[in-house]
Amino acid sequence: MLLEHLPAHGIDLVLGLPGDHWVSNPPSGWEVDVLRSRLAQHWVGAPLVFTPYVMRLLRAGRVDLLRGHSVRYTGPALLLGRALARSRVPVVIHHHHFYPRWARLEAAIARRADAVITVSEHSRQELIAGGVLPERIHVVLEGVARHPPTEAWPEAWPLTGLRLLHVGRLELRKQPAVAVDTLAVLRRLGVAASLVVAGEGPLRGDLVEQARVLGVSDGVRFVGRVSEEDKWRLYDSADVLLFASTLEGFGLVVAEAQSRGLPVVAAAGTATAEALDPGRSGFLEQPDGEAFAARVRELSDERLRQAMASRAVEFAGRFDWDNCAGGVAEVYRTVVTQRLRSAASAPGSARPA
């Protein structure tokens, strides 16, 4: 969505994409180069493909700025390609959050960029702690797709009562087990509810077994990975989103759900706090079933739920892709202007490619 909106803000794009990411009908302002190598499918092999490509771009003078959509996947190739081409074209890297296993490597890459664009104040502080100069970090809020109203999907829930929803990959950092625990606690408290789990991942089998052991299998439906349309149908049918993820740079699912008037119970202590209005459009709690269930029980009051739904829609209005593209475009222009001025003032320097 960001790339689609950037041309309207004066940013033309040259995209080097692996063959399996080919865009058949690129929009106006896009120029697509196909990189036919399977090595680019993994970040370890990506520099072998992208570095020569970056050098060709720079030597041909085709770009004014090098943009990395991922610190670890494209960052090394941009920095290495620029160095080998002996170019002064600035490198701007987009960042969501550090992955704990690779945090030191990602911080080292981010420190060498001319600028880093991130999506939350939480992530900005993470970058500063990793040694990135504060003046090089720019926070630009992400947007939310404005999907048209759907026919909804209420039959996705297996039982009557509150319709709880979890959306996300079924992996440890997303903490999907908290959603199942929450349902089990609610059942003990006598609150009628059922749960839809949308997403695939390595924990699916464990979650099915967890539901069986807790005696809530009849109240949980695993719908797997859903289409974009079905995701919005689920948002339009649910009563509460459960989002226990403990590692987020922003919390896009939370912003999307709120744009449809869906109150959220989310994990405290992450960037998700910036994707909702705590206490007004949703709640932040410790990611465990007891804490989440206590908040969901409050939201069984329809008046409170409707009031939060209205506030959620209002709050989510700030997440706009066109505004995001405008903010990103301004960072790009500023970085290019600064590099040109620096090059012009350097003794014996030439204008960068």
Q: What whole-number percentage of the chain has pLDDT above 70?
A: 95
**109, pLDDT greater than 90:** yes
Residues 116 and 134 reside in one and the same domain = yes
Does pLDDT of 352 surpass 60? Answer: no
Are 297 and 169 within one domain? yes
Residue 149 lies in a domain: no
Residues 121 and 210 in one domain: no
Structure pTM? 0.87
**Nearest-angstrom CA–CA distance, 270 and 123:** 9
Q: Count Cβ atoms within 10 A of the Cβ of residue 116 and give its class: 0-12 exposed, 13-18 middle, 19 or more buried.
A: buried
Same domain for 13 and 95, yes or no, is yes
Does the residue 350 lie in any domain? no
- For residues 164 and 296, membership in a common domain is answered with yes
CATH number at residue 279: 3.40.50.2000
Identify whether 237 is part of a domain: yes
Q: Which residues have C-beta within 8 Å of that of residue 205, sequence separation ≥ 6?
A: none
CA proximity to 142, closest of 274, 313, 340, 292: 274
pLDDT value of residue 346: 63
CA 331 to chain centre: 19
When the pLDDT of each residue in the chain is averaged and rounded to a whole number, the result is: 93
Residue 254 has what pLDDT? 96
Considering the domain architecture, whether residues 299 and 329 belong to the same structural domain is answered as no
Average pLDDT value for residue range 308-334: 96
Closest by CA position to 136, among listed 157, 158, 159, 109: 109
3-state secondary structure of 338: helix
Q: Is residue 49 located within the same domain as residue 168? A: no
Tell me the pLDDT tens digit for each residue of 247-274. Answer: 888 889 999 999 999 999 999 988 899 9
Same domain (yes/no): 134, 189: no
Q: Residues 137, 200: one domain?
A: no
Domain span holding position 161: 154-316
**Contact at 8 Å (CB) between 156 and 263?**
no
Structure tokens at 272: 């998700």
Query: Do 75 and 10 lie in a common domain?
Result: yes
Q: Are 53 and 46 in contact (CB under 8 A)?
A: no
Same domain, 307 and 200: yes
Q: Are 52 and 46 in contact (CB under 8 A)?
A: no
Residue 148 lies in a domain: no
Q: Is there a domain that residue 351 lies in?
A: no
Residue of 94, 93, 271, 256 lying closest to 173 (CA atoms): 271
β-bridge partners, 32: 15
Total number of domains in the chain: 2
Percent residues over pLDDT 90 in the chain: 83
251/210 same-domain check:
yes
In terms of phi and psi (left: phi > 0; alpha: psi -120 to 50; beta: otherwise), the region of 70 is: beta
Strand 137-139 and strand 115-118: the pairing is parallel
Residue 352 domain flag = no
In a domain, 62, yes or no: yes
Give me the phi and psi of 220, to 5 degrees please: -125, 130
Is 353 part of a structural domain of the chain? Answer: no
